[in-house]
Amino acid sequence: MTAQSDHPLPNTARKPVTDTYHGVAVAEDYRWLENWDDPAVRAWSDSENAHTRAFLDALPARAAILSRARELFGGAFVSYFNLTRSGNVLFALKFQPPKPQPLLVTLHSPDEPASEHIVLDPSVFDTTGGTTIDFYKPSPDGRYVAISMSRGGSEDGTLRIFVVGTGRQLRDTIPHIQFPTALGSMAWSGDSGFYYTRYPHAGERAESDLHFYEQLYFHKLGAPDSADAYALGKDFPRIAEIFVSSTSDGRYFLAVVNNGDGGEVEHFVRGPLASGQWTQVTQFSDRATGAGLGEDGFLYLVSLRNAPRGRVLRVPFDHPQLAAAEVVAEQDSAAIQDLVVTSTQLYVRGVAGGPSALRRIDLRSRRQAQVPLLPVSSIDEVVRDSADGILYNAQSFTEPPAWYRYDPRSNTARKTALFLASSVHFGDAEVVRTFAMSRDGTKVPVNIIRRRGTKLDGRNPTLLSGYGGYGISLTPWFSPSHRLWLDQGGVYVLANLRGGGEYGEEWHRAGNLTRK
């Protein structure tokens, strides 16, 4: 209180403005603060910053908190993400401070980080440190890898092809494959060529449309990109986002087309017997979302029709008729997020009120099992490992991110050597998962992180956070900031509000518009 009284709040002028909406007059006093070009607004901002700085600098505990924060956040910890297995080679992006950008590496296995081979270090490719990897895709046998790179945070990606063993760059270079409006992707056709996303080139559309109307083209290795063949997309919506993938042998292809970010999706497939034609499987109105290519000749789809948390269907590549789709797995308590298909197993990643769930379905017997996970945890990635096994990246409020290897034969998972070796520990903390009752009787999930033995007398400083919108799920995550707050005697609470995707589409729509 003393610090605050020594630094009185700056004056904020009221400049009333009234608008009428649907016959209702709405007055506001501070619209003038929205004009950052106004010198008066900049002066007001400077005075507010000065007031805040003076108040914080005068806090008696500031020096100790700052020292502890530097201790918690100051470590240079290695982490791995975006793992992909191609043949017998495991690829990964590696974050390695003080390197300014992640590296692309290969490993013999997730248990042998010492076997690392650097395929591409962006800070060597571009010594300014301004080039980053947007995405990469190895060829089916792991001999080549296609890498989209962009400069200066632009995300305007150029695709280049490298020989994995030597790092030698091939002459094939394709510009404008990736951009923030719809991102980008590619899929190999064996080792001789690939499909890739491309934005219009100058002269093909109006200048205002050059970052929209994403399309799919085919490139043959060694040929100039001017000879690339158009495949798909000219009649798609302006805001279409295309993601293309292929089976591990590069024979069958899937194009997932999102109509912007509104949740409407179409699916197209192409196989070796399709006479070069892409076949449309679903339309935006079909309410099919996620998809996965099987090694068994089937396309697997997540359908929200009459199943707001999603159920899994499949159609054969040769006759991909949605009306004749077979139900592989009915809806359960977890809202489906994505699929991974192996030789004989289907893995379904979902969210169950905030924490993740991972279901395994045997495609021969249809028997199901829950993959063992950390308590109250989240899974960021699931990737195919061996013929039927998977690797998944998991973390919780008290456990840092780590890659786990799952064996379906024993239904067991173990932590690999690819983990974030954080110095932050939560051995004295507990995570309590409970529910708050809304006025309409709805139970809203609440996650409470606190030190064990915390006296529940209503006097603990508590940070309550929540978000409910756009179907975005707030999942458990590991953060040193939680440790810092607990050290001060605080309690951290995360609420999974309606409007998010924690229980699927119904939970999302329950927080829309007037139901906010």
Q: Residue 319 and residue 269: Cα distance in Å, rounded?
A: 10
Does residue 384 lie within any of the structural domains? no
Per the CB < 8 A criterion, the answer to whether 335 and 351 are in contact is yes
To the nearest whole number, what is the mean pLDDT of the chain? 95
Containing structural domain, residue 22 = 2-59
User: Is residue 209 pLDDT above 80, yes or no?
Assistant: yes
Q: Residue 14 and residue 11: Cα distance in Å, rounded?
A: 10
Neighbours of 310 (CB within 10 A): 28
Does residue 345 lie within any of the structural domains? no
pLDDT at 437: 96
User: Which uninterrupted H or E stretch holds 6?
Assistant: helix 2-6
pLDDT at 325: 98
Between CA 415 and CA 424, with CA 418 as vertex, the angle to 5 degrees is: 85
Does residue 313 lie within any of the structural domains? no
User: Where is the domain boundary, 59, 86, 106?
Assistant: 59
User: Is residue 220 pLDDT above 60, yes or no?
Assistant: yes
Q: Residue 482 and residue 490: Cα distance in Å, rounded?
A: 9
Q: Residue 384 and residue 342: Cα distance in Å, rounded?
A: 7
Q: Residue 372 and residue 413: Cα distance in Å, rounded?
A: 7
User: Is residue 175 pLDDT above 60, yes or no?
Assistant: yes
Confidence of residue 275 (pLDDT cuts 50, 70, 90): low
Confidence of residue 271 (pLDDT cuts 50, 70, 90): confident
Q: What is the DSSP string of 420-463?
A: ---S---TTEEEEEEEEE-TTS-EEEEEEEEETT---SS-S-EE
Count Cα atoms within 13 angstroms, Cβ side, for 202.
Answer: 1
Burial of 384 (0-12, 13-18, 19+ CB in 10 A): buried
Q: Residue 195 and residue 219: Cα distance in Å, rounded?
A: 6
User: Which uninterrupted H or E stretch holds 244?
Assistant: strand 240-246
Q: Can you tell me the mean pLDDT for 363-387?
A: 96
Count Cα atoms within 13 angstroms, Cβ side, for 480.
Answer: 16
pLDDT at 273: 58
pLDDT at 78: 95
Between CA 218 and CA 208, with CA 239 as vertex, the angle to 5 degrees is: 95
Confidence of residue 3 (pLDDT cuts 50, 70, 90): very low
Sheet of strand 462-467: strand arrangement: 429-437, 443-451, 491-496, 462-467
Does residue 444 lie within any of the structural domains? yes
Confidence of residue 262 (pLDDT cuts 50, 70, 90): confident
Neighbours of 247 (CB within 10 A): 18
Q: Cis (ω within 30 of 0) for the bond into 98?
A: yes
Does residue 446 lie within any of the structural domains? yes
Q: Whole-model pTM?
A: 0.92
User: Where is the domain boundary, 31, 59, 87?
Assistant: 59
What per-residue string of b and e applies to 430-446 under the rule 16 or more CB within 10 Å gives b? ebeeeeeeeeeeeebbb
pLDDT at 196: 98
Q: Residue 40 and residue 184: Cα distance in Å, rounded?
A: 43
Name the domain count of the chain: 2
Per the CB < 8 A criterion, the answer to whether 444 and 473 are in contact is no
Q: Can you tell me the mean pLDDT for 404-421?
A: 97
What per-residue string of b and e applies to 75-102 under the rule 16 or more CB within 10 Å gives b? eeeebbebbbbbeebbbbbbebeebebb
Q: Measured in whole angstroms, how far is the alpha carbon of residue 235 from the centre of its chain?
A: 28
Does residue 174 lie within any of the structural domains? no
Per the CB < 8 A criterion, the answer to whether 268 and 280 are in contact is yes
The contacts of residue 357 (CB under 8 Å, 6+ apart) are: 333, 334, 349, 350, 351, 370, 373
Three-state secondary structure readout of 277-315: CCEEEECHHHCEEEEEECCCCEEEEEECCCCCCCEEEEE
Does residue 120 lie within any of the structural domains? no
Which stretch of 6-10, 255-259, 276-280, 471-475 has the lowest confidence by average pLDDT? 6-10
Q: What is the pLDDT of residues 430-453, one digit of tens each?
A: 999 999 999 999 999 999 999 999
Neighbours of 271 (CB within 10 A): 18
pLDDT at 272: 79
Helices (H), 15-104: 39-57, 62-73
Q: What is the pLDDT of residues 482-505, one digit of tens each?
A: 999 999 999 999 999 999 999 999
Q: Residue 120 and residue 74: Cα distance in Å, rounded?
A: 26
Q: Residue 116 and residue 206: Cα distance in Å, rounded?
A: 46
User: Where is the domain boundary, 59, 74, 97?
Assistant: 59
Q: Residue 147 and residue 131: Cα distance in Å, rounded?
A: 12
